[in-house]
Amino acid sequence: MNGSSDQDTGLRILDVAEEILEQVGEPNLRVADVAEKCGIAIGLIYHYYRDRSALVAAVRLRQYTRNVEADIESMSALQQSGASPADVYAVTQETIGNLQSEARRKARRERIAVLSATQHNEVLREAVRASQQQLNDRIVAVVTHYQEIGFVDRSIDPKAVALFLEALPLGLAILDANPDTAPAQDAWDHMLSGMLEYLVAPPPKSVPKH
C-alpha cells in the first residue's frame, strides 16, 4: 500500500467502526461487520489494529480529541493570520460559550462517555492520558504566544488557562441531563464575558463623542 491509500483505508475503518458502534453499542461491535461494510478482508483491519479492543480504543480516542483539536486549529489559524484581540475574544467566547449548539452537545457527551469508559479499559485510559497531554501542550503553546503579544495576561499560568478552556465546556454536559437548568444565552454570555476579560483582551468599547 502507498502512504495515501494506506491512510485512507485506516480512516475508512475508523469511520465505519464509529458508525456501527453508535448504532449497536460497544458490546455488539464486531470486527467482521466493520470489514464487511468497508468491503475489505478482516485481516486487513488487524493490520491496523491488533485486536477489537484496540479498534474500539481508536474510535473512542478520536471522539475524545476531535472537537478540541478543531478548536485548537481555529485558535492557531487566528494566531497565524495576525488577528486582533477582539477576534481572539470573539472566537474564544463562541468556542466555550455556545449553549445551543447540538454539535457541541454531542461532542461533550462523547467526551464524558470516553472518560467513563477509561475506568475499565487500561489501553484506552493510557491513550487518553497521552492525547490529553498533547492537547494541553498545544493549548499552552497558543496561550503562551498570545501572552507574548499582549493578548492574554502574562501573570496567569498558561496551564491554568488551558484547564479553564477545556473544563468549562466539558462541565456544560450537565445541561444534557436537564436542559431546563440552562440560563438565557445572553445572561450566560454576560457572565462569561466578565470571566474572559481576565484572560483575553475584550473588544474595544466605543468612546463617547464630546
Residue pLDDT, tens place only, 9-32: 889 999 999 999 999 988 999 999
Radius of gyration for the chain, computed over Cα atoms and rounded to the nearest angstrom: 20
Q: What is the pLDDT of residues 69-108, one digit of tens each?
A: 988 998 888 878 878 888 888 888 887 788 888 888 888 8
Domains in the chain with CATH codes: 1-49 (1.10.10), 53-196 (1.10.357)
User: Using an 8 Å Cβ cutoff, are 70 and 110 in contact?
Assistant: no
pLDDT tens-digit readout, 181-194: 889 989 998 888 88
**Gap between the Cα atoms of 145 and 35, Å rounded:** 44
Rounded to the nearest integer, the mean pLDDT of the chain is: 86
At residue 150's C-alpha, the angle toward residues 147 and 155, to 5°, is 50
Q: Is 124 helix (H, G, I), strand (E, B) or coil?
A: helix
Q: Residue 203: is its pLDDT beyond 60?
A: no
Positive or negative, the CA dihedral 170, 73, 192, 161 is positive
How confident is the model over 97-143, as pLDDT tens digits? 888 888 888 888 889 989 998 988 888 899 999 999 999 999 999 99
**Percentage, residues of the chain above pLDDT 70:** 93
